[in-house]
Structure formats: C-alpha cells, structure tokens
Amino acid sequence: MARATVVFASGQLLTDDVWAPQVEALAQDYDVIFADHGRDDTIAGMAARLLAGAPDQFHLIAHAMGGFTAFEVMRQAPQRVLSLVLIATLAPNDGPAQTERRQGYLRLVEAGRFDQVVEERVPILLPPDRRGEGPLLARVRQMASDTGAERFLVQQRAIMSRIDSRPSLAAIKVPTLVIRGAQDGITTQTHQDEILAGIPHARFVEIPACGHLPTLEAPDETNRLLRDWLAENSAGADRSGLTGVGNSG
C-alpha cells in the first residue's frame, strides 16, 4: 500500500524547523512535504505552489499563515485534500488594528531594523512563562533570521492582501481538526469558534499552558493528536464515524 503524504504549511517568520518534532514522530509512517511559503506575495500564489509540489492527494497540516494558505487550497482544489489540521490560525482578513501593526513592521524593515520586528513578535508568540526559555527563544529567533527580511516582506504582502475566508468555510467537507494553545497571543477563542461554526463537523482541541507555537511548546501532545488524527483519516479509513461529531477540547 502506498504511504500517505503529509504537507506541512507553516507561518510567517517560521521555517521547516517549526515542524521538527512532528517530522520525527510521523516520518516513519508518512511521506512529508514542506510548503514553500517564501516566494509568493499572495496567498493564492502560495496555495498554487503548494498544490504544484504535492501529490494528487495528501493530508494538509497548517499553522498560522499556513492556515490562510490552507483555506485557499480548499478553494482551489478541495478534492485533493484527505484531511485538514488547522493550528493557531484564523479565518477573517485583517482589520484596521492588524493592518496598522503590519505596516509598522514594514516601516521597521525598511529602516533596516528587522531584528526589532522579531523581538516585538516574541511576546505574542510565546506566553509569559515561556519567554525565558533559552533554547525555545533561540529557536524562534533562528527561524526568523533564516527567513530574513526579504522573505518576511513577501509574507507580509501576502497576509495583508488576503481575503476573508469565513464565507467559504462551509464548503470544506473533509475531516478537519482545529488546535489552539490556550495562551495564544495571536488567535482567540472567537477565531476558533468562527472556524468551528463554519466547517461542518470540525473538531477542536485546546492545549493548556501553550501559546502560538504548539508544535514546539507542546510537541508530545501535538504529536499524539496528529498521529491519532492521521491514523483515523488516512486513505481507506472508515470516515462514517465523523458524521455528527461535535467539538471537543
């Protein structure tokens, strides 16, 4: 039997390293592909590039900005996605406050202060009791450095021009798992409720004592959730039990 493929789509200022614990946990049983999210300045372009590099069918696991790409993938080619996992993401486009914050980032980068952008984002990426963890903080900073100012600007343009995905949520028919850290400084419970209300039979899991980066902050719990989810929803699995499933968390 052919192995199922998992496509990981990550957020801005993050690299494939954000999925390192999950790759270690899943690579023995699944083929793994990372979406390229650093060359296209539109979410539609990121989604088209993801689809061009993926097999005919795959499981899509998306984090943050990767969730914006996932929503677009589900608009462009929903028949290719076996199951969907949305981690620390949201469906609406930016409001005025978010746009102003992003424009502030752009001004800092244009002034040659990309490092300051990274430091300003740390408090919203990690909860207070995790910001002093040297290895975790170093990992976040290294991923931002590896992304670099140029790719960050491309990502910002894509995020700022994205459409509101809420109207298209009801068209998502594949099994969907929504995961959020309880102390996420970017997404809110309201954001999760919007996704859960929009996608039929989506499941929800909240990870306690965790911020915006569950894959690194709570790798064991995230790995367990993903292993169980993929085993349940891999090709050939009986999906009849998904009908009428309520939200949990």
Helix-helix angle 43-53:134-160, to 10 degrees: 110
Average pLDDT over residues 195-212: 97
* CATH code assigned at 156: 3.40.50.1820
Collapsing DSSP to helix, strand or coil, 249 comes out as coil
Could you give the percent of the chain with pLDDT greater than 70? 94
Query: CA nearest 14: which of 72, 83, 88, 81?
Result: 88
Structural domain boundaries enclosing 165 = 1-249
How many structural domains does the chain have?
A: 1
Token readout for 122 is: 């740390």
pTM: 0.92
Query: What is the model's pLDDT at position 150?
Result: 95
Residue 78 pLDDT = 98
Collapsing DSSP to helix, strand or coil, 27 comes out as coil
What is the per-residue pLDDT across 148-167, written as a single tens digit (0 to 9) for each? Answer: 999 999 999 999 999 999 99
Report the candidate in 145, 153, 176, 180 with the shortest Cα–Cα distance to residue 64. 180
Residue the block writes with tokens 């954001």: 191
pLDDT of residue 87: 98
Residues of the chain with pLDDT > 90, as a percent, come to 90
Residues near 155 by beta carbon (within 8 Å), at least 6 away in sequence: 12, 13, 37, 38, 65, 147
Task: Summarize pLDDT for 98-147 with one digit per residue, the tens.
Answer: 889 899 999 999 999 999 999 999 999 999 999 999 999 999 999 999 99
Q: What is the pLDDT of residues 83-104, one digit of tens each?
A: 999 999 999 999 888 889 899 9
Average pLDDT taken over every residue of the chain: 93
Residue 131 token pair = 């910001």
pLDDT of residue 235: 55
Task: Using DSSP bridges, classify how beta strands 81-87 and 5-9 pair: parallel, antiparallel or unpaired.
Answer: unpaired
- Return the number of other C-beta atoms located less than 10 Å from residue 24's C-beta: 11
